[in-house]
Amino acid sequence: MKIRFYNARILTMLDGENILTGEVHTDGNSITYVGDATDKAGEDAKAAAFDREIDCGGNLLMPGFKNAHTHSGMTFLRSSADDLPLDEWLNTQVFPYEAKLTADDIYKLTRLAILEYLSGGTTAVMEMYLTPESIAKAANEMGFRMVQVGGVNNFSQSVELIEKYYNTLNGVSDLTSFAIGIHAEYTCSRELIGEIAALAAKYRAPVYAHISETAKEVEEFRGRYGMSPVAFLASEGLFDYGGAGYHLVHTDAEDIRILKERGIGVVTNPGSNTKLASGIAPISDYLEAGLTIAIGTDGPASNNCLDMFREMFLTTGLAKLRENSACAVPAFDVLTMATRGGAQIMGLPETDAIAPGKKADIILLDLMQPNMQPLQNIPRNIVYSGSKSNVLMTMVGGSILYERRENIDDSFHVGESASEIFRAAQEVRDRILG
């Protein structure tokens, strides 16, 4: 399908804070033109025989947000497992109920999360959950982009299963892929970590893991091994081919040196870390060190929403509090984390910007709302005052999957009505939680 967006402001994320005025053309899953609405653009538009032409009304086109860490199937625990510290939350409110889930349950719960991602301008997520095959099915059927990560631990999945997923879920679809990962050091034996490191070496592949999320986790780890989780996992060869750590709240200068040396990215999850009182990540230090940083929501049981606008504000707001400096972590750096940083860490460089040849993963933001006026600095408006209510459209791979309409069922184009997806998820919740 060929689509022409015209009369648009365009934030390409290639040129700093510069805003273009003009057109974006897509053909299939790719962007074919970005530029002024010149006579040549008009001639090309007529020759192209577009299937659809969309007047953006002066609103903003930009790359979609990349949610670089989430557990979509945990939608069934939203507003159920709340107000507890992380270890108690996991062991009393999460693990026991997750054990009751089937692959079909997770398929239905993931579909609900995808609706939320789309309505909030997220075009790709990095997913870690229990049944990768049914999750990939949900994403592919709905046309959504998803990178899955193995979450092997002492209690579920296995090295053999991770290798199977790696070989069977990659190369099947343009939309979905699978990466090697562990849940966390504290849920994995040293032997298991070594086996995953060997698997990563076999495929020369990056590895992803929850790391240094709480002060208690780091303190207990130092008691076991006499070093930090970052230092230990690196010494075991887990990150010989790069990867990223989720959270990385409690780190020191030596950890940051190792992250930089090994090319390990940082995925910060400020909403979840705030709600679980895990702490504030040293984002200013990571920026100063030149690390690649992305933003994730974490799962809907610990956040509880899948809202990248809120995460962007918390990323900069909490950093300012931590550093006692209003200058810390400027807005455009945060917007870069939420788009280009996420694309880099997720292995999706073809989705990081609006430019010819890039994937057509695009969102349209409504600037004609009170929270976006006056149009003084649009990137800052997005980070400091933007919200999901500003999302007019979300396109993934050249297909418009969400267009804001008065009726919720008219807003999504994912092969099934939103109402039916809501109903199926509610049935799972009622059966599992009673």
Tell me, what's the pLDDT at 89?
87
Q: Answer whether 0.85 is exceeded by the pTM.
A: yes
Q: Which of 25-34, 80-89, 366-375 has the lowest mean pLDDT?
A: 80-89
Map out the domains of the chain with their CATH numbers: 2-63+350-411 (2.30.40.10), 65-349 (3.20.20.140)
Supply φ then ψ for residue 135, to 5 degrees: -70, -45
Per-residue pLDDT averaged across 265-270, rounded? Answer: 98
Q: What pLDDT band is residue 37 in, cutting at 50, 70 and 90? A: confident
Tell me, what's the pLDDT at 337?
98
At 165, the amino acid letter reads: Y
Reported as a single tens digit per residue, the pLDDT across 165-188 is 999 999 999 999 999 999 999 999
Are the C-beta atoms of residues 389 and 369 closer than 8 Å to each other? Answer: yes
Reported as a single tens digit per residue, the pLDDT across 335-367 is 999 999 999 999 999 999 999 999 999 999 999
User: β-pairing, 20-27 with 2-10?
Assistant: antiparallel
Reported as a single tens digit per residue, the pLDDT across 118-151 is 999 999 999 999 999 999 999 999 999 999 999 9
Q: What pLDDT band is residue 86 in, cutting at 50, 70 and 90? A: confident
Q: What pLDDT band is residue 41 in, cutting at 50, 70 and 90? A: low
Q: How far apart are CA 181 and CA 66, in angstroms?
A: 19
Q: How far apart are CA 88 and CA 291, in angstroms?
A: 32
Reported as a single tens digit per residue, the pLDDT across 284-332 is 999 999 999 999 999 999 999 999 999 999 999 999 999 999 999 999 9
pLDDT higher than threshold 60 for residue 264 = yes
Q: What is the mean pLDDT of the chain?
A: 96
Q: Which of 62-66, 90-94, 354-358 has the lowest mean pLDDT?
A: 90-94
pLDDT higher than threshold 60 for residue 39 = no
* Interacting residues of 75 by C-beta distance below 8 A, sequence separation 6+: 109, 110, 112, 113, 116, 300, 425
Residue 422 vs residue 38, higher pLDDT:
422
Are the C-beta atoms of residues 218 and 250 closer than 8 Å to each other? Answer: yes
Q: Name the nearest CA neighbour of 209 among 179, 168, 176, 235.
A: 179
Percent of the chain scoring above 70 in pLDDT: 97
Distance of CA 307 to the CA centre of its chain: 10
